[in-house]
Structure 1
Amino acid sequence: MPQFSVNTHRFDPYANFKFRIKWDGESVAGLSKCSALKKTTEVIDWREGGDPSHGRKLPGKTSYEPITLESGLTHDLRFEAWANLVNNFQGDPAMSLRNYRKEIVIDVCNLQGTVVISYVVHRCWVSEYTAVPELDAAGNGVAIQTIVLQNEGWERDVAVTEPAET
């Protein structure tokens, strides 16, 4: 069975450096990195009293790993604005109970920039925000800001199908 149903000539998997993240209906510019989507289901060991020779494994609670987004430091305030909806120096009254959670979309693109796979991540909120990274006058790197998003699960957007490649 071919790995690609539409582009049967294709052998190479998709590259990991062509992606977009969207929230509030807009692509977030300047993102350089997105951590993996990962979920883990706990294992429950169970043994029946009348069958002492072996145990069984049952699925337990599923948890979703936080997602880390990294962006080059610019004048774009979206990371900071979202982080401030959860908690900021002005105290609890400044928190937005209505807006601090967002649905985000992670789009994986082919080398032409066409979306080929898309995931919707549900009920995200910022649990960690790095406004300014460690600064080093002797360094030669880009200043990166990060947010860590807690989430309540994700699912593949099956409406996004494999596009025909030319």
Structure 2
Amino acid sequence: MPQVSVRGQRLDPYKNFRFRVKFSDSTDYIAGVSKVSGFKRTTEVIKHRSGGDPATSYKLPGRTEYDPIQMERGVGAHHIFEAWANKTWSFRNAAGGLEASLQDFRRDITIDMFDESGQKVLSYQVFNCWVSEYQPLSDFDSNANAVSIQHIKLENEGWIRDIDVVPPSDLQFDDPVA
């Protein structure tokens, strides 16, 4: 049970395995997503020094870059990762000179995080994602006892936390003995 402070605020951190991923233009979650890499944003540092001050330089924020996000899901009957990856490059279409779908290869995704009671507590929107790397199957190994996994690497142009999603107050179950 989560620790609760005197004021009823949650103290325990949320668990990292309670999440779901969906395309931002859909209400359905993508089935089987088992792993999403962490988000990382890096802003370059621009050093500036005044001509009359040889000992000190000032630092200003420069260009901001967003690292790719990696996602994994179990291989199954759904081909959603493959279809999306084929928008960027398709072997079948490359023979005819149509290597990429410029119209809809970029998609926004939403990653939602849930608490122990299944209530949404965090939501992030990731913008203009496209598949730069696709691995349809993991290694085959007859001695393994594992699920076959697909991997995609998503280039993106940034992300924001949806500030309208507010963690709900903690639920308290009725004491069956009382």
Structure showing greater radius of gyration is: 2
The reply to whether TM is greater than 0.5 is yes
CA RMSD of aligned residues (A): 1.7
Identity value in percent? 47
Equivalent in the alignment of 2:76: 74
The one of 86, 89, 94 aligned to 1:87: 89
- Unaligned 5+ runs, structure 1: none
Equivalent in the alignment of 2:146: 141
TM-score scaled to structure 2, two decimals? 0.86
CA distance in 1, matches of 2:79, 2:136: 10
Deviations 1:75-127 (A, max 9, x none): 11000000001101021426221110001001011012211000100000000
CA distance in 1, matches of 2:9, 2:129: 38
- Unaligned 5+ runs, structure 2: 172-178
How far the C-alpha of 1:71 sits from its partner, in A, is 0.3
CA distance in 2, matches of 1:151, 1:8: 38
Residue 36, structure 1, aligned to residue 38, structure 2 = yes
CA distance in 2, matches of 1:132, 1:125: 19
Count of residues in correspondence between the two structures: 162
How far the C-alpha of 1:66 sits from its partner, in A, is 0.3
How far the C-alpha of 1:9 sits from its partner, in A, is 4.0
CA distance in 2, matches of 1:31, 1:12: 25
CA distance in 2, matches of 1:78, 1:106: 16
CA distance in 1, matches of 2:9, 2:106: 42
